[in-house]
Each structure stands twice: as C-alpha cells, then as structure tokens.
Amino acid sequence: MIPIYKPYMPDNLLPDIEKILYSGNLAYGKYGKLFEQALADYTGNLNILTVSSYNHAMQIVLSTLGLQQGDEIIASPVSCLASNQPFVVKNLKIVWADVNPETGSMCPEDVKKRITSKTKAIFHNHFCGYLGQIDEIRKIGIEHNLIVVDDCIEAFGSEFNGKKMGSNESDIAVFSFQTVRLPNTIDGAAISFKNQNLYEKAKMIRDYGIDRSKFRDVNGEISAECDIEVEGYGALMSEINSLIGIKQMNDIDDLLKKQRQNAIVWNERIAESKQIVPLNLNKETNPNFWVYGVLCEDKKLALEEFRKKGWYATGVHINNNIYSVFKNSEKLIGVSKFMNQFLALPCGWWVQ
C-alpha cells in the first residue's frame, strides 16, 4: 500500500555524520548556523532560529510573548495535537475558533467574535500544509493589536502571494522538521520572526535564557556580571540534526515540485467523481501538498475504497476540542462538518 507519509533522507550522509561524531563538536555550532542560513535564504527572513523539537519551538514562542496563566489565546481545534498541547503546559485559556468547512481553515468572522480584553494572541494553524485566510486573520491581528502566529507545523514551503511561509510578513511562524515533514531533521523545528527584539529574546530563551555574548569572562569562566533575566529551555539543535537539515534543503525544491505535480494528477483522477472533491484552496495560496486533501460525501466508504486500491487514505488528525485536557469541548458546526468529510491521500515525493 502506498503510505501517507514517508521519511526522506538524502544519500551519502554517513561520512559527514561520522566526522561530526568524532570531532568533539556535537552541540549547536558550525552546522547549526549553516542550517539557519539556509532557512533564512529560503524564506527570505534572517530572523530565524532552529530548535531541537517542535514542542520546544512552541514553548519558546509562548515564553517569548510573555504569556501567563489565565491569558486567552485563540486557536483552531482542526490541527495536530502537538500544536495545542503547549497551551496546556502554560495553563493558558484556549478559545477555539470555528473553521470554514470547505477548507478546514480558521474562520475570520468567528475569530472576531471570540476576541476579548484577555486575548493575547491568535494561533493560525495551516492544516496539512493548506494555508488559511492569511490576509483576513492578519488584518484582525493588526486591528486588535494581537500577534498572529502562523502555525506551519505541516506547511514548510507553502506559499502565500508568491512568498514562502516564514517570510518577514508573518509576525511569527513555526515549522516542524519531525520525521515525516520536509525538511526532516529526524526531530527539530524552526521559528521565524518579523520583530528583531522578539527574535533576540527567543534566541536567549532557546538557550536557558543565556546571552552568550556576556556569559563568560576573558578566562572562559562563567561571569557573575551576566544576569539571567528570562525563563529558558535547552532547545538548541545538535550538529548532526543540523547537518541532515542542510542536506535536505539542497533537495527541497525538487521534492516539493514532485508533490505539486502529484496533486495535479490527483485533480485529474477525481475530476469525474461527484462524491469526492478536492479541498478548496484559499486565494493566493500554494500548498506544499504534504498530503492531498479531499472532501467526501461518505468519508468511511471513500477511505475503504482508496485503501482497497492501495492508497493509504486517512483523516490524519482528529479535532482537538474532543480532548478533556483543553477544558473546552465547545461543539463547532464548521469543525464537525469538515472533520466528517475530510480525507487525506498520499501525495508525497515517493508517489509515482
């Protein structure tokens, strides 16, 4: 059966990995900086940090924004569980926004209705690599003086108005480089920032709150003159993970091109079907086609039929408002309709 996911790994990695293993330099360093530069070149944004995991990346964003227990954030329940669990760790109040059932993306009109004086940020998930109504959500953020975080957990390489996600048009964008993403660093993530001060703050939070330019004195000893002013995490990416990321960035354009070509083939395959239609695209967006999304009149039947034909069809995620940990089980009409119809089909670089 053709799988829905498959980890990508470039050839001829082992000689370089072996050099790192015996170099004595295993932590973030030369390759970490080169990987960040490759990401900056790709997104067009110099303010980008690599991080050891997506969960760490989200926690760093929450700390950088100074979010505290009881603060409200607006998020979508139509997302990966990994996107929303960090809010629980910080004891934030999660306010779910409904989605457009034809796209699965956050509904701007519903977001507006949910903003209160306690709202501190909007987390705009781009489900399965399909981008949401970016202009509309950003305008809401500007109108209410709220940071909009583009949650691109599955959307690296997706484009809006011809620009890659993570460009300096996003307040903040978060990417996952976990095994089934592109690029895949086995585990890892990245965060991009529009605001230079937030970027500099996040850089310290990523590294236990340390300002490395002041941390040690002329003798290499830890300096008492260097205060630690912010909370922090040990979230630097290792040199091996960074090396793998660099190698994958060399191939990223070809891999995404293949996925977009596969999507065109899927368009042709289902063109005659009345029961299955492609997921609607929001205007001016170009997905990375991590998966190929469809809406089905009978999701269970369609899943069974695709699997019989050798395609591992799946719903991918389940709506997070069903989980008690979030303390918000509000039923949302758009969410329910979308989840009852959405199905993902294999569209990755491995599909012939």
Please spell the DSSP secondary structure of 93-104, one letter per residue: EEEE--B-TTT-
Residue 66 lies in a domain: yes
The amino acid that residue 206 corresponds to is R
Residue 38 lies in a domain: yes
69 and 173, same domain (yes or no): yes
Confidence of residue 352 (pLDDT cuts 50, 70, 90): confident
Mark which of 191, 220, 251 sits at the end of a domain: 251
The amino acid that residue 221 corresponds to is E
Question: What pLDDT does 273 receive?
Answer: 87
| DSSP code of residue 153 | T
Is residue 219 scored above 90 in pLDDT?
yes
Residue listed under structure tokens 């941390």: 215
Mean pLDDT over 264-290 rounds to 93
Residue 162 lies in a domain: yes
Cα(127)–Cα(236) distance, rounded to whole angstroms? Answer: 26
81 and 170, same domain (yes or no): yes
Mark which of 251, 277, 297 sits at the end of a domain: 251
Confidence of residue 272 (pLDDT cuts 50, 70, 90): confident
Calculate the alpha carbon distances from 336 to 100, 104, 317, 321 in Å. 10, 10, 13, 10
Cα(116)–Cα(95) distance, rounded to whole angstroms? Answer: 10
pTM over 0.85: yes
Residue 5 lies in a domain: no
Mean pLDDT over 101-111 rounds to 97
Cα(343)–Cα(303) distance, rounded to whole angstroms? Answer: 7
Residue 1 lies in a domain: no
Instruction: List residues bridging with 121 in a β-sheet.
Output: 73, 147
Cα of first residue to Cα of last residue in the chain, in angstroms, is 13
Cα(76)–Cα(236) distance, rounded to whole angstroms? Answer: 28
Instruction: List residues bridging with 93 in a β-sheet.
Output: 72
Residue 214 lies in a domain: yes
Mean pLDDT over 89-112 rounds to 97
62 and 163, same domain (yes or no): yes
Instruction: List residues bridging with 2 in a β-sheet.
Output: 311
| DSSP code of residue 271 | T
Q: Specify the number of domains making up the chain.
A: 2
229 and 322, same domain (yes or no): no
52 and 127, same domain (yes or no): yes
Mean pLDDT over 228-233 rounds to 95
**Exposure class string for 281-319: b at 16+ Cβ within 10 A, else e:** ebeebbbbbbbbbbbbeebeebbeebeeeebebbebbeb
Q: Which domain holds residue 275?
A: 253-345
